[in-house]
Amino acid sequence: MTGRTGTLQVDSLAPTDISLAPPKTDARSSGGRQLAVVILLSLVLCSVANHCLAYWLGLARSAPWSRSIGNYRRTGPKTGPQVFCAGSSLLVSGLNWPEVSESLGQGIEDWTVAGSSPEVWEVFQQERRNSNTTIIGVSAYDLNEMRLTPERAMYVPVTETASDLWSSGAPPGLRRRVLTLYAINYMRLLFPLEGDADKVMVGLRREAAEHFGLQAKLEEHEGVFLEQKGVLGVGESPTTLSDWSSARVLRRIAALRAENHGSHQFVNGPKSYALRRVLLRAQQQGRVIVVVLPVSKAYAEEFLDLTTSGDFERELDETMALVPQATLVRLDRLPDISDSRYFADLVHLNSLGRRAVTPVFLKEVAESTSNQKSQASLAAGSNPGK
C-alpha cells in the first residue's frame, strides 16, 4: 500500500512538472525573432557600408525612377544648329573634336554613359535638340549584342527593351541577362555598387594613387583618359597598348571575355533595332555621318573570327541600306590602324591614333559634302521647273 501510494503521489505530480516547462513554440518564436533581427541588422550595416564606399569612390547613383541625362560634353560654337554626337567612349577618344568642329563650322554636343550603345544613344537623341547633323560612331565592340550597357536600365524603358528582345528573337540567355539589369537597378537602392566590381577596383586604385602621390604611375599602368568635365574629347597621353606587359593584356582580355560572355553576335538583336531607329530619326533631322572605329589587333585576334567579322559587315551593310544618303567613313580599314601603338588600351585610340584618323575622317566628310552638292546641282539642272 505504501509503495502504491508513493507511486500515486509521483504520478499525480507529473502533470504539474510538465506544466512548469516553457512551451517549445515560444522558444522557437524567440529564436526566429533573434535570427530576423540579426539578418536585418546585417543588411542595414552592409547597405550603409556600400553607400559610404560608393560615395567615397564617386559611384553614387540616382534613384531608379529618377530621370537621368547622362554625361554632357561639348565643343565649338554654342550658337546655331549643333551636331549631335552619338557614340561610346570609343568615339569620344577616336577623333580630335575641336578640329572636327572647326571643319564643320558647328558646335558638337554629346550625351553618353560608360559603355553605352545604340539603345542608350536613342534615348538622348529623342530629346528635342537643335541639331541638323548627326555623327554616329560604331565598332565591333559597341555593336556586339553580347556586351550589355551596364546603365541600360537607368535610361531605356523596360517596355521598349522587352519589345526589342521579343521582336529580334533574342536567345533566352541574352533575354535573361538584359532583363536582369532592371532587377539590379532596383537592388542598387540598397547596394549601389551591385554589379560594379570592376569600377570599384578602378576607384580603389585611383584613391590609393592620389593618397600616395602615384597618379603618374596610375596613368602609366591603367591607361587613364584625361577628360575635362563638360568638354568633348580627351587630353594628350603617351600611353600605348604596345607598352603593356603581357600579364596586363591577359588581365584585360579576361575582363572583356567575362563582359561579353566570350562571344560576339551582331545580327538581328536589340542593339541592331535601336541603331536602325537612330539612323532613321537622324536622317529626318538632317545630315548623317556614320564612322566605323577600329579595335586593336589584340582584341580582334582574341574575339573576332571570319564568321563574326562577316556578320558584322553584313549587319552594317543592311543597316546603312536604310539611309542611302548617309556618309560612311571606314576608319577601321586604314592600313595598320589596328597596330597597338595607336591604342591606349584594347579598344580606345590614343593621341597618336587620333592624329592618324582625324585628317582621314575630315577629308572623307568634305568629299562626301562636295559630291552631295554636285548631285543636288545636277538634279536641279535636270528639273529646271522645280
* pLDDT tens track for 236-249: 777 799 999 898 89
Between residues 11 and 243, the one the model is more confident about: 243
Return the pLDDT at 24: 61
Sign of dihedral through CA atoms 20, 23, 28, 33?
A: negative
Predicted confidence (pLDDT) per residue in 200-242, tens digit: 777 777 777 777 776 666 655 555 555 667 788 887 777 799 9
The phi and psi torsions of 179 (rounded to 5 degrees) equal -70, -30
Using pLDDT thresholds of 50, 70 and 90, give the confidence band for residue 37: confident
Residue 328: which of 320, 319, 318 has the closest Cα? 320
Q: What is the pLDDT of residue 68?
A: 60
Burial class from Cβ neighbours inside 10 Å (0-12, 13-18, 19+) for residue 155 reads buried
Residue 8's pLDDT is 47
From CA 342, how far away is CA 294, in angstroms rounded?
A: 10
| pLDDT more than 70, % of the chain | 82
Confidence of residue 1 (pLDDT cuts 50, 70, 90): very low
**The C-alpha cell that represents 96 in the structure block:** 580630335
